[in-house]
Amino acid sequence: MIKQFIMAIAIIFITALFAFAADDDFSRADKNKDNEISKPEYLDAVTVAFDKYDKNKDSFLARNELRNIYKIDVEKFIKETDKDNDGKISKREILEAAEKRFSTLDKNKDDFISRKEWLDGRKQNDPMLVLFRF
């Protein structure tokens, strides 16, 4: 009996831990902690992610840098984001893509991404959210 009880507690604990980990990037982007991600917060978070992956600090994300992004489909990402077709992603290109992505993620069009909208995007392995998985 006690054994089952401990098991149940352990499962609850582990589940909570995973939920927390999944939400962590949401909380990080939600700077003012109102449980919603506004467009400026989202674009800020994308900029932070961009700078983090731009290892040689040339203000472009090249293929070898994009490959460091967890589980990202590099070629697909470049195809969708690299508007001037130079094979690398500039900050402007990524922010333009992020603006569009914001509207897609904001399902109910209230100009904020709720936690649920964020997690829905995550389930679809949204490349603009994959960016945040440091």
**CB of residue 124 vs Ca ion: minimum separation in angstroms?**
16
Using Cβ positions, the residue closest to Ca ion within the complex turns out to be 106
Smaller CB separation from Ca ion, 112 or 132: 112
Smaller CB separation from Ca ion, 44 or 73: 44
Smaller CB separation from Ca ion, 15 or 79: 79
Smaller CB separation from Ca ion, 55 or 63: 63
Token pair of 58, please? 């040339």
**CB of residue 31 vs Ca ion: minimum separation in angstroms?**
6
Token pair of 64, please? 């070898």
**CB of residue 12 vs Ca ion: minimum separation in angstroms?**
28
Distance CA 8, CA 66 (A): 41
Element (H, E) at 38: strand 36-38
Where do contacts with Ca ion occur on this chain (CB under 5 A)? 30, 32, 34, 36, 82, 84, 86, 106, 108, 110, 112, 117
Distance CA 15, CA 103 (A): 30
Assign residue 114 a region (left: φ > 0; alpha: ψ between -120 and 50; beta: otherwise).
Answer: beta
Distance CA 63, CA 88 (A): 7
